Structure 1
Amino acid sequence: MHVNKYKRFEPVKLDDRQWPSKTLDKAPIWCSVDLRDGNQSLPVPMSVEKKTKMFNLLKDMGFKEIEVGFPSASQAEFDFTRKLIDEKMLDEDMTIQVLTQARDELIEKTFEAIEGCKRAIVHVYNSTSTLQRKVVFQKDKQAIIDIAVQGVKKVKALAETSNVEDIMLEYSPESFTGTELDFALEICEAVIKEWEPTEDNKIILNLPATVEMSMPNIYADQIEWFCRNISCREHVIISLHTHNDRGTGVAATELGILAGADRVEGTLFGNGERTGNLDILTVAMNMYSQGIDPELHMDDMNNIINIYEACTLLKVHERHPYAGELVYTAFSGSHQDAIKKGFDAYNHEQNKTWEVPYLPIDPADIGREYEAIIRINSQSGKGGVAYILQADYGYRLPKKMHPEIGKLVQNVTDQTGKELSSQDIYDIFFNAYFEQEKILALKSFESTLEDHDTTHKGIKVTVSAEVVFRGKSRKIQGTGNGPIAAFVNGIRELDIEPFKLAEYEEHSLNGGADAEAVAYIGLTNEDGVTKYGVGKDCNINLASIRALISAINRHMIR
Structure 2
Amino acid sequence: MSDRLFIFDTTLRDGEQVPGCQLNTVEKIQVAKALEELGVDVIEAGFPISSPGDFKSVVEISKAVTWPTICALTRAVPKDIDVAAQALQYAKHKRIHTGIGTSEYHIRYKFNSTQEEIIERAIACVKYAKKYVEDVEFYAEDAGRTDNVYLAKVIEAVIQAGATVVNIPDTTGYCLPEEYGSKIRYLMENVKGIQNAIISTHCHNDLGMATANTISGVLNGARQVEVTINGIGERAGNTALEEIAMILRSHKEIGITTNINTQKIHSCSRMVSSLMNMPVQPNKAIVGRNAFAHSSGIHQDGVLKNRESYEIIDPKDVGIDDNAIVLTARSGRAALKHRLHVLGVELSQEKLNEAYENFLKLADKKKDINDDDVLMLVGKDRTAMHRIKLEYLQVTSGVGVQSVASVCLNIAGEKFEAAASGNGPVDAAIKAVKKIISRNMTIQEFLIQAIDKGSDDMGKVHMQVEHEGNSFYGFSANTDIIAASVEAFIDAINKFVK
Question: Is the pair's TM-score, using the shorter chain for normalization, greater than 0.5?
Answer: yes
Q: CA deviation at 1:371?
A: 4.6
The one-letter code sitting in structure 2 at the alignment partner of 1:217 is: E
Matched, 1:230 2:230: no
Matched, 1:276 2:250: no
SS at 2:134's partner residue? strand
- Alignment partner of 2:147 out of 169, 180, 192: 180
Q: CA deviation at 1:367?
A: 3.1
Report the CA distance shift for 1:332/1:221 in structure 2 as closer, same or farther (over 3 A). same
TM-score (norm 2): 0.62
CA contact (8 A) 1:94 1:119 kept: yes
CA contact (8 A) 2:142 2:170 kept: yes
Report the CA distance shift for 1:315/1:185 in structure 2 as closer, same or farther (over 3 A). same
The one-letter code sitting in structure 1 at the alignment partner of 2:32 is: F
Once residues 228 and 63 of structure 1 are traced to their aligned partners in structure 2, the CA distance between those partners, rounded to angstroms, is 28
Matched, 1:333 2:333: no
Matched, 1:110 2:84: yes
Matched, 1:194 2:140: no
- Kindly name which structure, 1 or 2, has the bigger radius of gyration based on alpha carbons: 1
Once residues 259 and 305 of structure 2 are traced to their aligned partners in structure 1, the CA distance between those partners, rounded to angstroms, is 32
The one-letter code sitting in structure 1 at the alignment partner of 2:186 is: W
Once residues 118 and 369 of structure 1 are traced to their aligned partners in structure 2, the CA distance between those partners, rounded to angstroms, is 35
Report the CA distance shift for 1:97/1:327 in structure 2 as closer, same or farther (over 3 A). same
For 2:282, the equivalent position in structure 1 comes to 318
For structure 1, the 5+ residue unaligned runs are 1-23, 160-165, 198-202, 344-355, 373-419, 422-558
CA contact (8 A) 2:41 2:259 kept: no
CA contact (8 A) 1:31 1:67 kept: yes
TM-score (norm 1): 0.55
CA contact (8 A) 2:139 2:168 kept: yes
Matched, 1:54 2:31: yes
Q: CA deviation at 1:188?
A: 1.8
Matched, 1:40 2:4: no
Deviations 1:200-258 (A, max 9, x none): xxx10110111121211110011101111111122111111111111011111111101
For 1:90, the equivalent position in structure 2 comes to 65
Once residues 225 and 249 of structure 1 are traced to their aligned partners in structure 2, the CA distance between those partners, rounded to angstroms, is 20
Report the CA distance shift for 1:61/1:42 in structure 2 as closer, same or farther (over 3 A). farther
SS at 1:247's partner residue? coil
For 1:66, the equivalent position in structure 2 comes to 43
Q: CA deviation at 1:192?
A: 2.2
Matched, 1:122 2:96: yes
Q: CA deviation at 1:186?
A: 1.2
Q: CA deviation at 1:263?
A: 0.6
Report the CA distance shift for 1:331/1:44 in structure 2 as closer, same or farther (over 3 A). closer
For 1:366, the equivalent position in structure 2 comes to 318
Deviations 1:127-149 (A, max 9, x none): 11111222222211112112212
CA contact (8 A) 1:207 1:241 kept: yes
For 1:28, the equivalent position in structure 2 comes to 5
The size of the alignment, in residue pairs, is: 324
Report the CA distance shift for 1:228/1:369 in structure 2 as closer, same or farther (over 3 A). same
Q: CA deviation at 1:300?
A: 4.1
For 1:170, the equivalent position in structure 2 comes to 137
CA contact (8 A) 2:165 2:197 kept: yes
Matched, 1:240 2:211: no
SS at 2:13's partner residue? helix
For 1:484, the equivalent position in structure 2 comes to none
CA contact (8 A) 1:53 1:311 kept: no
The one-letter code sitting in structure 1 at the alignment partner of 2:174 is: M
Of stretches 211-220 and 297-306 in structure 1, the one that deviates more from structure 2 is 297-306
Q: CA deviation at 1:102?
A: 0.6
Once residues 212 and 301 of structure 2 are traced to their aligned partners in structure 1, the CA distance between those partners, rounded to angstroms, is 31
SS at 1:246's partner residue? coil
Q: CA deviation at 1:329?
A: 1.6
SS at 2:226's partner residue? strand
CA contact (8 A) 2:47 2:54 kept: yes
For 2:482, the equivalent position in structure 1 comes to none
CA contact (8 A) 2:185 2:220 kept: yes
Q: CA deviation at 1:331?
A: 1.4
The one-letter code sitting in structure 1 at the alignment partner of 2:65 is: L
